Structure 1
Amino acid sequence: MRRRLTLLVAATTSLVLVAFLVPLALLVRTVAADRALSGATLEVESLASLVTTVDRQPLTLALEQAAASGGRPVTVFFPDGSTVGAPARRSAAVDLAARGNSVTAKVPGGREILVAVEGMPAGTAVVRTYVSDGELSRGVTRAWLILAILGVALLGLGLLVADRLARSLVGSARELASVSHELAAGRLGTRAQPGATPELRDVATALNHLAGRIQELIAQEREAAADLSHRLRTQLTALRLELESLRDPDEAARAEASVAALERAVSQIIADTRRPSRTATGGRCDAAEVVGERVRFWAVLAEDQNRTLTFPDANGPLPVAVSRDDLAACVDALFGNVFAHTPEGTPFAVGLTARPEGGARLTVSDEGPGFTTPDLQERGVSGAGSSGLGLDIVRRTAESSGGTLTLGRSTPGGALVTLDLAAP
């Protein structure tokens, strides 16, 4: 924008200067030529009174004095064909002037001024002088140089003013862009300063209003989520008390473990909603340990539904840039999709390997019907009446660590989910 404004002012200023200076330069040249011709005409006209005298001695003396003082060469052509003064060829212009017409003729190297002097007994005499091209253009070069310097100075002044103005406008626009980037990064307390123009001030005011409104909405969302989570935890406490009355110790232990895990998830939701920002807070864990723990947890339900769960042991620790709770939530979401969207007895497999560039790759595949709804990674999209948030949670967790989530089809034709997690 700054460069475009400067180029626009440069083009406009140049057009104005050309429209002003070119005619002025031509006028200067014309005035200089007219000045030289007028001076020469006055000089030869002053000799007309001497030409009409019978005695040519005063005329000859006056011409000699003029030549000695460095004046213009003057020649007098008499009607009888004789001449006095500087030698000069009798041209067609001289013959024309001899008919009584004073003329100015262009000759090689300059111009000749011819003044007809009438009143002589034998006819009309002609007084001729010569003005060179150098005399006609005397002072023109200097005047043109001054005009050129003036034009360059005016152009430079215009560019300086345009650059100052453009810098002010561009600076305000860049500040607004910087504020928008800060807001996009989650720093909602950033505010824009008023711009240099009324339009930019309006944009800054609107951007500040938008940032304030976003803060209000996020605060309301956090309070609502925290309130809902707190209500859920209250109900979980009541459920825990009910579980104590179960007679089967093993069944009671499994149910209590499930309730404890759910309570931890609810507590994590409350902590997350109380954070100043929803941006990734970082973290790390051992993917082999977390995935192995969640596989052992879900293996009990898989056994109850006659599902074959295949999970080869991972080789060694696999550190990833995801917190332990976030990774556990991702694994639970993927396993929950398998149990919710495939018939009982459908086998599924879990794979966990190290990536060449660091981190880990988690795959979950089944032999069910596969994905039937496109764009399942979009938030709220589901093909089985669920909330559709499971894959969205997994995707956001993967992206926060620098990884990706890929959906595909397994070899038997079922669903295949590949979760790539970057190294810390």
Structure 2
Amino acid sequence: MRRRLTLLVAATTCLVLIAFLVPLALLVRQVAEDRAVSRAHGVVQTIVPLIGTEPDRLELAVEGQPLPVSVFPPAGEVIGEEARRTPAVTLAAARRESFAVATDEGREIVVPVVSAGGVYVVRTVVPDEELNRGVTRSWLVLAGLGAALVLLGLVVADRLARNLVAPIADLSAVSHRLARAELSARAAPAGPREIREVATALNHLAGRIQDLLREEREQVADLSHRLRTPLTALRLEAESLRDPAEADRIAAAADGVQRAVTAVIEQARRRGGERRSCDAAAVVRDRVAFWSVLAEDTDRRVRRELPPGPLPVPIPADELAAALDALLGNVFAHTPDGTAFGVTLAPRPGGGAVLTVDDDGPGFPPDALRRGASGSGSTGLGLDIARRAAEAAGGALHAGAAPGGGASVRIELGVNALPPG
């Protein structure tokens, strides 16, 4: 933008200068010609009074002039500069009129003088050098003046453009910082009034976003207090069971709910842009072991392909576990008992990992991939949770049909730059 404004001012300045300097240059040349012709007329006028009155002084007056002057008498030899009788001389003697004509030698000026002895014609020629004397120097001065004005205009335009563009660049930098979740970024109101208003509006928007996020975090934090009582009651009910195994299972489920709620609260209170990593192989192995117990109870066969060693990915362990739990929960919720499913974790070319969950069920219902949509009465947020986790890790989620039928969801997790935490 700064360059465009400078070029616009330069183009406008050049057009204005051309509109003024070209006519002025032509006027300078015309003035130089008129001055030379006027000087030649002055020379001729000093000779005219001597014709017919002082013939002795005429020849001396003709020879002492700065321009070549010839006097053509009615009869006899030419007085002064030797020259042939040109058509202009003949025409002037016949019409008895003074005029000037352009020739190859320059500007020819003829003046007829009527005397008792007949019509004399005084002729002089103004060379082209005399007609254009000083014109080149004047044009160079005008060109230099024009160039100086253009440079001055460019300097002023660049200064104004910089004062205009700098606040816009600051607004752009602040907006990018806000996009990176640096909500403390603020723009300094500067520049024209309109840009200052935009900066003020952007600062107000950033403050409003901070307020909304603060309110959301507090609401999420209140969730732990609201769930504390029912979780406590659930643990008491589990302790009252006669079967110790059943009691331990229900207590473990209650602890899992408590951990999930705590993870949600920690995630909401985590500062923007602050990312952690984990060992995807360990997390997936742990969650598959947990769901395998439920799979045995519902006669489901579990296929698993997990790497033997660690596989770091740029996502917290609780978020990856929540994403995998959401996908496996969908398998148990939307496929009949006895439906087999598989979990595959493999390294991603270039870094990261690819997590795939597929099943042998009926596949995805229509609109199942749209957030909040579900064909079986659920919240419809399971796939969206997995999608957001994949995007937060620099990857993406792909859902479709499995090669052998059923549903298949593939999560790509980006390159990890942090040690597992």
TM-score, shorter chain, exceeding 0.5: yes
Deviation at 1:383, TM superposition (A): 3.0
Deviation at 1:375, TM superposition (A): 6.7
Residues 233 and 266 in structure 1, CA contact (< 8 A), matched pair in contact too: no
Residues 362 and 405 in structure 2, CA contact (< 8 A), matched pair in contact too: yes
Deviation at 1:319, TM superposition (A): 2.8
Residues 76 and 127 in structure 1, CA contact (< 8 A), matched pair in contact too: yes
Deviation at 1:423, TM superposition (A): 5.0
1:339-360 CA-to-partner distances (Å, cap 9, x unmatched) read: 1111222221222233343333
What is the CA–CA distance in structure 2 between the aligned matches of 1:214 and 1:318, rounded to whole Å? Answer: 36
Instruction: Letter of the 1:266 partner, please give it.
Output: V
Deviation at 1:405, TM superposition (A): 1.8
Deviation at 1:404, TM superposition (A): 2.5
Does 80-89 or 124-133 show the bigger shift?
A: 80-89
* Pairwise CA RMSD: 1.7
Aligned to 1:23: 23
Residues 13 and 153 in structure 2, CA contact (< 8 A), matched pair in contact too: yes
The 5 Å alignment of 1:88-99 reads 88-99=83-94
Partner-residue secondary structure (3-state), 1:104? strand
The 5 Å alignment of 1:7-406 reads 7-53=7-53, 55-66=54-65, 71-99=66-94, 100-118=96-114, 120-277=115-272, 279-285=273-279, 287-312=280-305, 314-374=307-367, 376=369, 378-406=370-398
Residues 364 and 417 in structure 1, CA contact (< 8 A), matched pair in contact too: yes
Partner-residue secondary structure (3-state), 1:420? strand
Q: TM-score, normalised by structure 2?
A: 0.94
1:17-61 CA-to-partner distances (Å, cap 9, x unmatched) read: 0000000000000001001101110111111111121x5211112
1:290-321 CA-to-partner distances (Å, cap 9, x unmatched) read: 22222222122222222222224542333333
Deviation at 1:195, TM superposition (A): 2.8
Residues 52 and 117 in structure 1, CA contact (< 8 A), matched pair in contact too: no
Partner-residue secondary structure (3-state), 1:46? helix
Residues 275 and 315 in structure 2, CA contact (< 8 A), matched pair in contact too: no
Task: Specify whether residues 339 and 133 from structure 1 end up closer, same or farther in structure 2 by C-alpha distance, changes over 3 A only.
Answer: same
Residues 80 and 122 in structure 1, CA contact (< 8 A), matched pair in contact too: no
Instruction: Letter of the 1:43 partner, please give it.
Output: V
Partner-residue secondary structure (3-state), 2:163? helix
Q: Percent identity?
A: 57
Partner-residue secondary structure (3-state), 1:373? coil
Pairing partner for 1:414 from 385, 406, 418: 406
Residues 280 and 400 in structure 1, CA contact (< 8 A), matched pair in contact too: no
Partner-residue secondary structure (3-state), 2:64? helix
What is the CA–CA distance in structure 2 between the aligned matches of 1:59 and 1:94, rounded to whole Å? Answer: 19
Deviation at 1:272, TM superposition (A): 2.1
What is the CA–CA distance in structure 1 between the aligned matches of 2:12 and 2:368, rounded to whole Å? Answer: 54
Residues 229 and 269 in structure 1, CA contact (< 8 A), matched pair in contact too: no
Partner-residue secondary structure (3-state), 1:90? coil
Deviation at 1:64, TM superposition (A): 2.8
Partner-residue secondary structure (3-state), 1:98? helix
Deviation at 1:280, TM superposition (A): 4.7
Partner-residue secondary structure (3-state), 2:346? strand
Task: Specify whether residues 383 and 81 from structure 1 end up closer, same or farther in structure 2 by C-alpha distance, changes over 3 A only.
Answer: farther
What is the CA–CA distance in structure 1 between the aligned matches of 2:271 and 2:342, rounded to whole Å? Answer: 39
What is the CA–CA distance in structure 1 between the aligned matches of 2:378 and 2:403, rounded to whole Å? Answer: 26
Does 75-84 or 137-146 show the bigger shift?
A: 75-84
Residues 238 and 246 in structure 2, CA contact (< 8 A), matched pair in contact too: no
Deviation at 1:165, TM superposition (A): 0.9
User: Which structure 1 segments of 5+ residues have no match?
Assistant: none
Q: TM-score, normalised by structure 1?
A: 0.93
1:60-112 CA-to-partner distances (Å, cap 9, x unmatched) read: 1222333xxxx111111111243211101101110111131011121112011
What is the CA–CA distance in structure 2 between the aligned matches of 1:81 and 1:216, rounded to whole Å? Answer: 113
User: Which structure 2 segments of 5+ residues have no match?
Assistant: 417-421
Task: Specify whether residues 306 and 132 from structure 1 end up closer, same or farther in structure 2 by C-alpha distance, changes over 3 A only.
Answer: same
Instruction: Letter of the 2:292 partner, please give it.
Output: A
Does 208-217 or 319-328 show the bigger shift?
A: 319-328
Instruction: Letter of the 2:108 partner, please give it.
Output: E
Residues 368 and 380 in structure 2, CA contact (< 8 A), matched pair in contact too: no
